[in-house]
Each structure stands twice: as C-alpha cells, then as structure tokens.
Amino acid sequence: MAGIYIHIPFCKQACTYCNFHFSTSLKQKDEVLNAIMRELDMQKNYLQGAPIETIYFGGGTPSLLSADEISRIFEHIFNHYPVEHLKECTLEANPDDLTPQYLKDLRGTPIDRFSIGTQSFLDKDLQYMNRAHNAREADYAIKAAQDAGFTNITIDLIYGTPGLSDADWKHNLSQVAILQIPHFSAYALTVEEGTALHHNIEKKKAAPVDPEQAARQLEQLMEQAEVMGYEHYEISNLAKPGHYAVHNTNYWRGLPYIGIGPSAHSFDGKNRRWNIANNTLFAKNILMDNKLAYEEEQLTPIQHLNEYIMTSLRTMWGCDLDKIEKEWDADLAKIILNSSYEYQERKWLVEKDHKLILTNPGKLFADRIAGDLFIA
C-alpha cells in the first residue's frame, strides 16, 4: 500500500508560527496547479504500481481550491495510479472556507475526510497566531461539515500558547467531545527560526513560549483525552477507537508515499526525495523544461532503522524489536533493548510483547529517549 500527498502552496494570510512552504499571492495558482497535474503524470511509476490507499491534500491551504480544481487533480490521479483499494481522501481546510455551498460542491469529489485547522476555540489565541478565522467560525465550520454529511473529521489544536491558561486548554479539549469529533491532533506551539513569531519574540513584540506550560498542558491533554474516550495513539494524535488517520499512520509505519507539488517530500522505502520549495521554479521546470526539480537522499540501513525507532516510538504500538531482528539484525535489537533499560527503570518506557512503548511520563521526553536508542 502507498499514499499520495498533494502540497497546495497558497494561503490567504501567514500564520505567525508557520514555517511550511506557502505564498499569500494567488497569481501563480493556475500555473502551479497545472504543474502539479503534470507532475502526477510524470511520476506515475515512482511507486512502482503499489496500490494507493490514501490521498492527502495539505499545504498551505488546500481549501482555497474550488471543487472543480480538486476534481481535476483527482482525474490525473485516477488515470495513472491504482486506486482500487483507496480508503481515505483528506482535505486540509480553514474554517472560514467551509461554507455550505463549498461543502455541497465537495460532496461531488472523492474527498471524504476533513482536517480542519481550528487551532483554538478562543479568539485571543487565534489573534496571537494571526489566524484568518475566529472562534465562532471554527464552531460553525465543524457543524456545517457534519450537516453536509462529512462524519470523518479531524481538527488541529495548539497548546502552550502564551496566555492560554490550563482552564482555557481544558475548554478547548472539552469542545472536541461536545462537537463529537472522532479524531484530533494537538501540537505544542513551537518557535521556528524565520517565522513571524520568532521575529516578534526576538523584538519583544510577542510573549515568549513557556516550555513548562507546554509540558503541563501535554499532561493535561493525556489525562482529559482518556476521560473523554480518546486513544492517544501517537504523541500528537488522538482518536476514538477505530478512527485513526490512515494516511499519517502509514507514514509512521514506514510505507512508501509520493509527494506532489513544491516542497513536497516522497519516500519509496529506501530513498527520500523533496521537491524544490519555490513556486516559480517548480512550475517552470515542469511546464517549460519538462523535468522535475528535487533533491534526494539514499538512506543507509542504519539511518532507516533510526527513523523507524523515532516514528514507531511515538505511537501506542511502540518500537517492535521482532521487526528490527527480522528486517535489520538481531544484535541491533539487543543493543536497542539494552539502551532502553535506563528509561524502563525511570518508568518512561515499558517492554510489552517485545515492543518498547512510551508511558505517559515518557511522552514528555520522546525525542530524548529515541535519540538515546539510535544506533550510532
């Protein structure tokens, strides 16, 4: 099985924390979309005929596309890729884009899942992040999507925002249950270099992020999610039983996928590839020069193993030592197990059925633990 990721590099406005590739100018939209469709045609053999299980429109803001534009992209996918086993087609959407008419139009496309960029149900948070919507629009968009027949919905929430009290964070989490959303993602606010947020904090125009607040609110997330009946199946993702995100879960499982569009990443099982992060050059290379512009890295077996340790440890299924023995080497599995004993003694890790699984306290130190388990 494999997945297709489509990167739509356009937004109405720039969120202060975002470091993804996007443009707030739509002048090149038609040109870039034509290049995306042409790239789908050119890359039809990249996955070597692997059945496509998921299609994911990310960005940027894919909900800036019309239903007709989305349908044209699907047409190119269906013409060149085996989609008989397709399970999930996700569209990332901003709440202010999900009007009743747009939702009605999307019913005529293969889109069957929304990832709604809610981020918060509090206006003060949304203003801090420079989001294009307000709290009322977030609530309305979710209900409008449900009324239009879209039941497979996930939303994003951000914690650790300056001024977000623990009571406010509890309110945001409670809205997930009240609105009967089957899946949600929760991320700590991070300050990336080059973003407006980083600049504003450096210039003391914005309050800095408090790591202790973020850690405390992650603990609150784990406690409240369990009470609400959500499984914390990946450090940043929670779902009602059976409602896991198929596309992202396949990333963590190490399955191949192809990324289409400027800055999009691909993985064929052995090599990683990423497209040029420039809309003009991306379109020119494909439409005028009939060539792809990307960089590529061939993973060594150890690099591949370390990636598996990092991604699997973030999930509730854990790092499978039997899998490591089978696909890499039994001695490497023993080294990893020996390295884990320190964290098992701290109750940050447990070994169950020859799998290493993070405990809730251990999730606060996931990157540190994974790094210490890496094979040098």
CATH number at residue 343: 1.10.10.920
Q: Tell me: do 358 and 246 sit in the same domain.
A: no
Is 292 part of a structural domain of the chain?
Answer: no
Residue 374 tokens read as: 């890496």
Q: Tell me: do 153 and 41 sit in the same domain.
A: yes
According to the model, what pLDDT value does residue 84 have? 97
Q: Tell me: do 79 and 221 sit in the same domain.
A: yes
Domain containing 136: what range?
2-252
Is 282 part of a structural domain of the chain?
Answer: no
Is 47 part of a structural domain of the chain?
Answer: yes
Q: Are strands 153-159 and 183-188 parallel, antiparallel or unpaired?
A: parallel
Which residue from 149, 161, 55 is spatially nearest to 108, judged by alpha carbons? 149
According to the model, what pLDDT value does residue 127 have? 94
According to the model, what pLDDT value does residue 206 have? 87
Is 368 part of a structural domain of the chain?
Answer: yes
Q: Tell me: do 97 and 226 sit in the same domain.
A: yes
Q: Tell me: do 198 and 316 sit in the same domain.
A: no
Query: Residue 305: which residues within 8 A CB-CB, separation 6 or more?
Result: 324, 328, 332, 375
For 122-142, what is each residue's pLDDT tens digit?
999 999 999 999 999 999 999
Q: Tell me: do 14 and 116 sit in the same domain.
A: yes
CATH of the domain at 235: 3.80.30.20
For 245-279, what is each residue's pLDDT tens digit?
999 999 999 999 999 999 999 999 989 999 999 99
Which residue from 135, 185, 184, 127 is spatially nearest to 161, judged by alpha carbons? 127
Q: Taking each helix axis as running N to C, give the angle between helix 366-373 and helix 301-313, from 0 to 180 degrees, rounded to the nearest 10.
A: 150
Q: Tell me: do 246 and 104 sit in the same domain.
A: yes
Number of structural domains found in the chain: 2
Q: Taking each helix axis as running N to C, give the angle between helix 211-228 and helix 166-178, from 0 to 180 degrees, rounded to the nearest 10.
A: 30
- Which residues, in sequence order, are bridge partners of residue 4? 55, 258
- What share of the chain in percent tops pLDDT 90? 98
Q: Tell me: do 324 and 227 sit in the same domain.
A: no
Alpha-carbon separation of residue 274 from 9, 115, 147, 160 (angstroms):
14, 23, 38, 30
Q: Tell me: do 220 and 309 sit in the same domain.
A: no
Q: Tell me: do 313 and 212 sit in the same domain.
A: no
Using the structure block, give the residue that is written with the tokens 């977030």: 138
Query: Residue 325: which residues within 8 A CB-CB, separation 6 or more?
Result: 333
Residue pair 348/279 in contact (Cβ under 8 Å)? The answer is no
Q: Tell me: do 239 and 326 sit in the same domain.
A: no
Is 151 part of a structural domain of the chain?
Answer: yes
Residue pair 97/63 in contact (Cβ under 8 Å)? The answer is yes
Query: Residue 119: which residues within 8 A CB-CB, separation 6 or more?
Result: 125, 126, 129, 131, 138, 156, 157, 158
Q: Tell me: do 139 and 65 sit in the same domain.
A: yes
Residue pair 168/174 in contact (Cβ under 8 Å)? The answer is no
Is 269 part of a structural domain of the chain?
Answer: no
Q: pLDDT of the chain along its 376 residues, tens only? A: 999 999 999 999 999 999 999 999 999 999 999 999 999 999 999 999 999 999 999 999 999 999 999 999 999 999 999 999 999 999 999 999 999 999 999 999 999 999 999 999 999 999 999 999 999 999 999 999 999 999 999 999 999 999 999 999 999 999 999 999 999 999 999 999 999 999 999 999 888 999 999 999 999 999 999 999 999 999 999 999 999 999 999 999 999 999 999 999 999 998 999 999 999 999 999 999 999 999 999 999 999 999 999 999 999 999 999 999 999 999 999 999 999 999 999 999 999 999 999 999 999 999 999 999 999 8
